[in-house]
Structures are given as C-alpha cells and as structure tokens.
Structure 1
Amino acid sequence: MKKNLRAEFTKRQYMLSEDFEIYYYNDRNLPQGKIHMHGYHEFYFFLEGDVSIRIEDQIWELRPGDIVLIPPRTYHQAVIHDSGRPYRRFVLWISEEYCNQLRELSEDYLYFMKHVSDTGEYIIHNDVIAFNTIQAKVFGLLEEIHGQRFGKNVRIALGINGLIIHLNRIIYDQRHIKYSEDGNNLYQNLIYYIEEHLEEVLTLDVIANEFFVSKYHISHIFKDSMGISVHQYILKKRLFACKEALLGNANISEVYQSFGFKDYSSFYRAFKKEFGVSPKEFKDTKFELKAQCLGAYKKDKIR
C-alpha cells in the first residue's frame, strides 16, 4: 500500500495547489540539496534515514518521529549524511492563504505555527506510539487523495484539517502537560496503539515493551482509567470491529483472522458471549433485515 502512495522526488520549491500539498518520499542515493526557502509553511515528518536539518544558521540531528515546521521565507536544508540508506519522510505544504482561512475558523489551527514564531523551536519529538498515530492519519489522507471514492474532496478537507489540529494538540500538550507515566498521556497512547494494531499480536508484554514501562504499571493505569483490564478492552475492540465487518457482508472466516483471533472456536465463544448470538446468526439476521428493508423500499418506489 505504502509503495503505491510514494511520490517521485522533485526539486520543485513552489506549490501547484492554492491550499496544500502532501507527499510521501522513500529514496536512496539522493544528491545533496541546496539551502533554500519558500513562501509557504512546510511540515516535515522524519521517518527514517541518516539526516540532519539546517534551519537558518543552526543544524539539528533528526531521529524517527521528529516533526519539523519550517515557516515561510525561512532558509533550510536537509543534510543527508549517508545517501545509501533509505530516506523516508512525509512533506506537507500549506499556503499562507489556506492558513488565513483556517484562522477564520479557529486560532487553534495555528497554535503550532505561532509557537515556532515565538520560540524558534522548529522541531517536536514524538514517542513511537504517538508517531504511529500520525503516520496512520497521513497514510489515510494519502489513500483518499489517490483514490476515487464518493465524497473524496470532503474527506480530504476533513483529513487535512484533522491532521493539522492533531499536530497542534500534540505541541500544546507537550507544553502544558508534564509527561508522567501516571498521567493521561500513557492511557491515551495505549488506546491509540491498540486501535492501530488490532490485527497484530497484542499481549501485555508486547505493549509494555513498546512503552518501556512495566506491564503491571500499564495494567494499573488502564484499570483505573477504563474500569476493565487491557485484555478485556482489546477483546471488546476486536469483537466490535468484527461485528462492523460482518455488517458489511464480509466473510466470517476472514473477519476473525483479520482481527487477531487465533481460531474460530475462541472467536465464536467470545462473540456469542458479547452479543448473545453466534457470528453466523448475527450475519444471517442482519442480511434478512437488509433484504426486508430493501423490499419495503422497492414497494414504496413502485407506489
């Protein structure tokens, strides 16, 4: 999927759109670029590579998960140290005119930009969980841009604005909420991680390793915040995801395997306990209801 969304690198430093442009680059052996500036805001999301970034007269080493905001008319340059290594990044360009339109909706959209202007802090760092959420949002936006689904333009506008406000929220939280393993950040990041990895192995040990904290501490924080265990929450999320997929007429065997259930018997027992019917009974009942509704609709049309 990501390969299809990859853009060919270009040295173009002007926008083709009046509002915004977003790209996913994955390159090797790129020539060293020159220092430059442009008349729009650039969000640079660093995914992978041996790269530093120069902004005006300072140079910063980049690490995966870093987000850089470069204001208009600010000299900058990506300094590639090892061009043979994969160099992956997202680049989001936003015009000043589009920023003015966002300002009319809410000043909250421009919090990050104002922060950079006031402090000169161009870079924010993210843990792996927070950055996974950002990546999911960006890839979802790119899929919408490259697709042809109904309501495409509306979804793109919602996606770009949602991404911008998400970035502003991150920098606001970093400035106003002191990170603590006992605070909401750990709980929220845990929720994000589970939602993005439902189809993968999600044991408490795996999650604890991702957060670099003990599994007992995660269990305690989660139980206090949600009132149920991590395992119970993951199970419920998977069951409701399967339920939604069955509503879309997906195949039962494909559904339970897609959302982390090892075998049908365990899926069957959990599904029936949660919803009171078996997966097949639920699927058949919903199909019959849809058919009845469709039949009633056709009769009304004939009348």
Structure 2
Amino acid sequence: MDQEIGLEIEKRGYLGGGFRFFNLQDTQTMKFEPHYHEFCKIVLFISGNVTYFIEGIGYTLKPGDILLLNQYAIHKTVIDGTVPYKRKIIWFQPESLHKFNEENCNLLQCFSLASQHKCNLLRLSFSMQQRMQGLFEQMNESCEKQGFGSEVLRTSLLLQMLVYLNRAAEQIPDELAYVDREYDETIDQVIAYIDANLTDELTIDKLAFRFFLSKYYLMRKFKYYTGYSIHRYVLHKRLLAANQLLKKGKPVMNACLESGFHDYANFTRAFKKMYGCSPKQCHT
C-alpha cells in the first residue's frame, strides 16, 4: 500500500492570527472537494440546499444550524445552487484560547463532544438561535468597523459564542434523534477502525474481509461518504498523525513508524507532497 503516493495537498485556508470571520454566499451548484483545516471552524448556516459531509457523516442543514469542525476533520460540501447558500464562518486557532480555559471550563469541549458522539451539528432552540445570530452579527460589524478595542471585542464575542455552544453540546446525546444525519453504520465502523489502527496493514482486501463486505461495495460506499478512496484516506490520516508526532518532538523515523509507514522514502515523499516540505524541514 505504501507503494502509491497519489495525494494532492488538501489543506485549505491559512490562519496567521487568532481567528478570522467570513460572511459568504454561493449561488452555483457545486461540490467542494474533501479537505481539512489546521484550525477549528464554526459555521452558522443561514440558507440554501446543502449537505455537509464531515468524517463520513452527511448533515442536511436547516437555517440556524451550527456546525463544529475540529482541527484536521475531513469534510466536503454538496451545494444545490437553486437556492443561495449563505453562511457565516469563524476560523480560530485552538491554541489561542488555552489562556481562557479553567479547570471546569474547557472552551474546546464542544468540539471534543462533537467528535466523540459523531455529531458535528447543533440544532439550537429558537431563543439560542437568536442569541447566536446576534453574536455573529456583532462579530461581523466588529470586523467591518475597526476602532478602539476591536480585537478585544472580537475575542470577547468568540468567547461568548463558545460558552453557549458548549452548553448546547452537552445535549448532543439526547438530540441525536432530531438531527438530519446521513450515514452508513458499517462505513462508520470502517472509518473508526482505520483511525484506531493506522499502524496495521489497511488494504481494501483486508478491510472488506474484516467487515464481511464486497470490496467493490466498500470502495463505492466509502468514496460516497468521505470523498476519498480508502487508500487515499489511510495515507492522509497517517500523514496527519505523523505531523502531530513531529510537532510533539518525535524523531522523524519514530514518527514514520508510529503513524503506520513502513518505508521511510515513501513517507518523506508523501509528506513533502502534502505539506510542501520534508519532515525535517517542516520541524526544525
């Protein structure tokens, strides 16, 4: 499996500072290719006919819905352009909020809960929708009109959003039945198995045998829900894992082996193709 590289650079967006705000609209039918970000992302859905796929689960959105995307979450969007797709988006670096966390107040917990329960969508009560939309409007105004304390104001608005989102995320287990989710339970299990066993030999044949599936059925369904071939998904996840190990100070060879690569040359070649630099160059 390590023989093939075939991976395009799929990281999108660059966030130099603490966070950024976007007020966006699309009016064309399109599919965004699967990609990831190295920061967290909050999406407030305003209008449109959109299905948002995150780590193999599709969400059919309704106005007022909130999507929580953690760092490195693989996602894609399918847009029916007959209705304008409007949304407000915040990007932020989770590291920039560590100083605001307290022992019983982890502002990033909502992202962890979303990943844990495989539910990245929050469908808020009407009163909470009004509150969140008001905060997003204030954020928009603050970004458009620079003035005294603008950055402090934007930070305070983001902190308020995260407090309310964390309160809402505590209800995720009870709200799962009311969220429009499209997923295949077996494909969900395959994804979980891959993520937990990156150092194993994860060929299509072995996965199909393990989950009692036709490999052609597995390939087709996996591609539909993730936008990736299985090989490409495994390679992508291994490279993300290796990069995280390198950030923690692991030697390059250790990061290579611990993320599931068995050939150092293939690892460095794939890493450079994805990140634009060799493992040593990126982490020296």
Matches within 5 A, 1:23-102: 23-29=22-28, 31-80=30-79, 82-102=80-100
Which of structures 1 and 2 has the larger relative contact order (alpha carbons within 8 angstroms, sep 6+)?
2
Q: Is the 8 A contact 1:15 1:21 kept in 2?
A: no
Rounded to whole Å, the distance in 2 between the matches of 1:112 and 1:83 is 31
- 1:125–1:101 CA distance, 2 compared to 1 (3 A): same
2:162 maps to 164
SS at 1:35's partner residue? strand
Identity of aligned residues (%): 22
1:112 maps to 110
CA shift at 1:120, angstroms? 1.7
In structure 2, stretches of 5+ residues that fail to align are 1-9, 176-284
Matches within 5 A, 1:123-202: 123-172=121-170
| Matched length | 166
CA shift at 1:112, angstroms? 0.5
SS at 2:13's partner residue? coil
SS at 2:15's partner residue? coil
2:119 maps to 121
Matches within 5 A, 1:271-290: none
Q: How large is the Cα RMSD of the aligned pairs?
A: 2.6
SS at 2:34's partner residue? coil
Matches within 5 A, 1:12-31: 13-29=12-28, 31=30
Q: Is the 8 A contact 2:15 2:91 kept in 1?
A: no
1:198-244 deviation per Cα after TM superposition (whole angstroms, max 9, x unaligned): xxxxxxxxxxxxxxxxxxxxxxxxxxxxxxxxxxxxxxxxxxxxxxx
Q: Is the 8 A contact 1:71 1:113 kept in 2?
A: yes
Rounded to whole Å, the distance in 1 between the matches of 2:132 and 2:125 is 11
Rounded to whole Å, the distance in 2 between the matches of 1:15 and 1:105 is 30
Rounded to whole Å, the distance in 2 between the matches of 1:72 and 1:54 is 15
SS at 1:157's partner residue? helix
Q: Is the 8 A contact 1:14 1:38 kept in 2?
A: yes
TM-score normalised to the size of structure 2? 0.53
SS at 2:28's partner residue? coil
More strand by share: 2
- 1:79–1:129 CA distance, 2 compared to 1 (3 A): same
TM-score normalised to the size of structure 1? 0.49
